[in-house]
Each structure stands twice: as structure tokens, then as C-alpha cells.
Amino acid sequence: MKLTRVQKFSLAFFIFSLLPAYLLAHWRFEENLAMVTDKFAREQTLHLSTDKLLINCERNEKNEPAAYSANHQICAQGAQEHALTSQAMDALAREKIRNDADWYWNFLWTVLICNLFGLAAYRGSLFITRSET
């Protein structure tokens, strides 16, 4: 099978478009991963803090079993915040997993767009050269 000059050029353009697509997809992956990791670390810190609060609440509850005291209200809010941080950490863990799949989509879209721009430039140059003659 013999390729024409245009086919060889198109194949070379496609192959060279893979590198920028890889770099762009990897850059977006790293940025998203850094953002998710940073959020996860903050949520984990808050989760550990509320965990300590709940441990202290259990200890204080044994000493003072007042159901409507300020301590009880703080403990109830701490338990609610503990549950919310747990849910947020689960969502961020799912986001990390989704980020892996997004890398492939970003790569494919970048290759497609880059090659469509190349095709448009080729068609534009054909149009210009034909209109000049």
C-alpha cells in the first residue's frame, strides 16, 4: 500500500498531534488531582477535628447527661459536621477516580480538535490556492 504525499503529511500531522494532546491531558489531570487532593486534605483535617470533638462529647456526656445544655448542642452540631465531612470525603474519593477516566477523554478531545484544526488549515490552503489560479 502506497501513501500519497497528502496522506503521508496527514499521518505525520496526526502522530505529532499526539504529543501536545498527551501533555495537555496530563496537565489537566495533574491540576484536577492537585485540587481534589487539597480539598480532601482539608476535609480530612476537619473530619479529624470533629472526631476529637465527638470523643470529648462522649466523655462529657458521661459526667453531665443534660439534654438541653450548650454542650449538648455543640455535640449535636459536631456530629452533623462529622457526617457531612465524611460524605464530602467520599465524594472527593469518587472525584479522584473520575479524574482518571477524564484523562482519556481530555486526550481524545485534544487529538480530535487539533486534527480538525489541521484539516481546516489544509482545506483553507486548498481553497486559497484554487481561487488564485
Q: Which helix (H) or strand (E) holds 121?
A: helix 70-132
Which residue is associated with the grid cell 484554487? 130
- The predicted-structure confidence for 55-113, as pLDDT tens digits, reads as follows 888 888 777 766 667 777 888 888 899 999 999 999 999 999 999 899 999 999 999 99
Q: What is the pLDDT of residue 67?
A: 64
Q: What is the pLDDT of residue 61?
A: 78
Q: What is the pLDDT of residue 68?
A: 67
Does position 48 have pLDDT exceeding 70, yes or no? yes
Instruction: Compute the average pLDDT of residues 11-35.
Output: 94
Q: What is the pLDDT of residue 133?
A: 65
The grid coordinates of residue 20 equal 501536545
3-state secondary structure 79-98: HHHHHHHHHHHHHHHHHHHH
Torsion on CA atoms 73, 77, 83, 89, rounded to nearest 10: -150
The grid coordinates of residue 85 equal 465531612
Which residue ranges make up each domain of the chain? Answer: 5-132
DSSP per-residue letters across 5-67: HHHHHHHHHHHHHHHHHHHHHHHHHHHHHHHHHHHHHHHHHHHHHHHHHHHHHHHHHHH---T
pTM > 0.85: yes or no: no
